[in-house]
Structure 1
Amino acid sequence: MSEPKDDIQFYKGFDASFLPEIREYPISFQDKNGQEKDMLSFLKESGVNLIRLRLWTGETNKHCGEEEVIAFAAECKAFGFKVLLDLHYSDTWADPGNQEIPGRWKTLSDAVLLDSVYQYTYRVTSIIKPEFIQIGNEINYGLMWPVGKYNNGGMMNKLLKKGCEAARNAKKDIGIVLHYAGMNGCISFFKQRIDAGIDFDIAAFSYYPYWHGTSLATVEATLGAIQLDLGKKAFVAELAYPFTLGWNDYTNNVIGLDSQLSPGFPATQEGQNKFIKEINIVCQRSKALGFCYWGGEWVAFKGDKATDGSTWENQALFGFDNTANQGLGAFK
């Protein structure tokens, strides 16, 4: 089994994890004619067919916690979207530089931790019933540090095995995803997981050209190698590109320099749209499972004076006036 059995052959995804929080603020989104719509309606009309949602383990997390994600996943399913549940196995952000073990698991023995990972994964999978589940987020160097760090006596593989086993037992037809940041080293990373006997279906990687290089040929070659050399489905789990180098709040943005741009892709609506279209073409040509845009909803929703606002509003798929960008059309 490599993905849920349905009529979708190619997934055009959108990570909408910020949307429940954004809805708490008095902002609205509109099309180029000024017609206001809920963001999920925009996404559906634009050809998006998969919603990715991150889940943090903290018992006190209001946003990206269980209560919010369970409810929002059900709403997304009611809209007709497939759901990719992204388990961070952390109380906060997990990425190559941050993989903090959940607070309530910090003092557990290895045996009890492995059981806790199994029980947690089985429970949330059984409740949410996602079509896809991601066991860890950008786990280049392991997860749940320091216990699950990649060089800590094999615990990384043991934790991944437990998570994958739990997801499979909770929902037999689920597509299990492992996720790596970038392309450098990702083939050897996934091969090591295969050699360790970890049961997963989809090898996914993040692609941000300002961090991972500007060569779309390398993206295509990596997608091909995942399928031909490893026998796994390939998926671009995260990508984004700016439509401006400006900003709309007092929070520093991740990207804001000309030197961070890819040749041929200016920081304009046209450039953002072209980038997404090219990723779409590359993924379809290489027979990948699909791609997922990250941060498309992360506008400066806390206001233009916020110092704790968005670091990503110039890479969102809505402009500074919350009007849909041309880039939304690239999903069709």
Structure 2
Amino acid sequence: MNSTKIGILVSLLVGLISCQKTTTQPQPSMPDPTLVTSFYKGADVSWITQQEAGGVRFYQPDGTASDIFAILKSKGVNSIRLRVWVNPQGGWNGADDVLAKAKRANAAGMKLLIDFHHSDSWADPGQQTKPSAWQKLTFAELKKALFDHTVDVMNRLKTNGITPDWVQVGNETNNGMLWPDGQASTNMANFAALVTTGYEAVKSVSPTSQVLVHLSNGYDKALFQWLFNGLTSNSAKFDMIGMSLYPTATDWAARNEQCLNNISTLVTQYKRPVMVVEVGMPANDPATANAFITDLITKLKTVPNGNGMGVFYWEPQAYKKWQGYGLGAFDDSGKPTAALDAFLK
């Protein structure tokens, strides 16, 4: 091979290498995994209309009478949670009452979480009682009743221009719901089918609403593993995981650590974000409540990719032990305590 050809080949090789270098695009930097673009600070105020009907009033810190939604918003609350009962006594938490409260939350520019209990009254780890009208239904009929009830409430909201950001299928369903048919410890497949039915009902009206399955005791990793292993192995459909956390004034730091550990495992294992949809602490210890919530929010914001999505205080506006509940965040004069200042941070 003569020197002229060698020179040409060298020039071609140099050009090719140069071309490759100039056309290779720099790799984008990975986003900070702890960056939280949206964090939701919420309150469940489902008692509000019943309280107001009973003459309960609320006040800004300076003593000015004010609407509860305005007070909460001034404390950094940006989301509202409302429970739904099927045929409740007196109508409180029924579809009409929920719509009235949802309109007020929407007018205040707040996000909305709808919590279907699928009962005529309280549903929680100790009681998941079917609505009276559903007591004698077959399982197929029970699924249809759940579907129709969900669609009815969702359509009422949609007709009024309200789109819930999140919807719970069941409340604190540690052992399923709609017992005995949907009791998870005896028939996980039935519970999974009910969750999927609720999911499909929500999505049929509001495809963008995220559907949660909610358990209590957010620190209890074994409980969450058992329940969500059961749901996923039975192909249940859901978008998010919700949890409650009610520590004491002496164990809250340890419970927060356990809760964070549980959330991190849930996000990794089930590929779903998590939100703490209920917290509370005795109203007469607002400083400790503030420390608890501040620490919990700080921990949730460390969950990678914003998968620790938010914290909701349960019925903070319940003061003077309304209906025997003493874990609110208002004092006996109807003003917010320092507990809610945690949402301003």
With the shorter chain as reference, the TM-score category is 0.7 to 0.9
Q: Residues 71-82 of structure 1 correspond to what in structure 2 (within 5 A)?
A: 71-82=100-111
User: 5 Å matches for 1:27-46?
Assistant: 27-46=56-75
* Secondary structure at 2:225 match in 1: helix
Is contact 1:243-1:270 (8 Å) kept? no
Contact 1:190–1:203 under 8 Å retained in 2? no
Offset of residue 151 of structure 1:
3.5
**Pair 1:321 & 2:341 matched:** no
Query: Are 2:165 and 2:210, in contact at CA under 8 Å, matched by a contact in 1?
Result: yes
- Residue 330 of structure 2 corresponds to residue 310 of structure 1: no
Per the TM alignment, residue 290 of structure 1 is displaced from its structure 2 partner at its CA by 0.7
1:246-325 residue pairs with structure 2 within 5 A?
A: 268-286=285-303, 287=306, 288-300=308-320, 309-313=322-326, 315-325=327-337
- Are the aligned partners of 2:112 and 2:165 in contact in 1 as well (CA < 8 Å)? yes
Where structure 2 has 5 or more consecutive residues not aligned to the other structure, the ranges are: 1-35, 158-162
Looking at structure 2, the residues matched to 55 and 112 of structure 1 have their Cα atoms a distance apart, in angstroms, of: 20
Supply the distance in 2 between the matched residues of 1:290 and 1:40 (Cα, whole angstroms): 18
> Pairwise CA RMSD of aligned residues?
2.0
Deviates more, 1:58-67 or 1:231-240: 58-67
Structure 1 distance, partners of 2:83, 2:90, is: 12
Distance 1:108 1:163 in 2: 17
Alpha-carbon offset, residue 234 of structure 1: 0.7
Q: Give, in whole Å, the separation in 1 of the partners of 2:126 and 2:270.
A: 26
Residues 104-137 of structure 1, C-alpha deviation per residue, up to 9 Å, x if partnerless? 0001111111111111112212222311100000
Measured after TM superposition, the shift of residue 323 of structure 1 is: 1.7
Q: Tell me how far apart the structure 1 counterparts of residues 185 and 70 of structure 2 sit (CA, whole Å).
A: 45
Structure 1 residue 60: Cα displacement:
4.8
What are structure 1's unaligned runs of at least 5 residues? 1-6, 245-267, 302-308
**Structure 2 contact 88–121 (Cα < 8 Å) conserved:** no
Query: Of residues 213, 224, 238 in structure 2, which corresponds to 1:178?
Result: 213
2:94 matched to 1:65?
A: yes
1:214-255 per-residue CA deviation (whole Å, 9 max, x = no partner) reads 4211111111112112100111111111242xxxxxxxxxxx
TM-score (norm 2): 0.81
| Equivalent residues in 2 for 1:106-125, closer than 5 Å | 106-125=135-154
Runs of 4+ in 1 over 6 A off after TM superposition: none
Indicate which of 198, 219, 225 corresponds to 2:259: 219
In the TM superposition, what whole-angstrom CA distance separates every residue of 1:194-220 from its partner, at most 9, and x where no partner exists?
A: 222111111111111149x64211111
Deviation at 1:61, TM superposition (A): 4.2
Instruction: Report what 2:225 is aligned to.
Output: 187
Kindly indicate which of the two structures has a greater share of residues assigned to helix: 2
Question: What is the CA–CA distance in structure 2 between the aligned matches of 1:201 and 1:82, rounded to whole Å?
Answer: 17
Contact 1:187 1:222 (C-alpha < 8 Å) held by counterparts? no
Distance in 1 separating the partners of 2:144 and 2:276: 30
- CA distance in 2 between counterparts of 1:125 and 1:21 reads 22
* Residue 228, structure 1, aligned to residue 241, structure 2: no
After superposition, the C-alpha distances for 1:242-271 in whole angstroms (9 at most, x for unaligned) are 242xxxxxxxxxxxxxxxxxxxxxxx2221
1:59 to partner: Cα distance: 5.8
Q: Is the 8 A contact 2:320 2:331 kept in 1?
A: no
Look up the equivalent residue of 1:312 and give its one-letter code: Y
Cα gap change, 1:8/1:125 in structure 2, threshold over 3 Å: closer, same or farther?
Answer: farther
Q: Which letter does structure 1 place at the counterpart of 2:289?
A: Q
Give the deviation of 1:295 after TM superposition.
Answer: 2.2
Identify the residue that residue 201 of structure 1 maps to in structure 2: 239
Equivalent of 1:94, from 116, 123, 139? Answer: 123
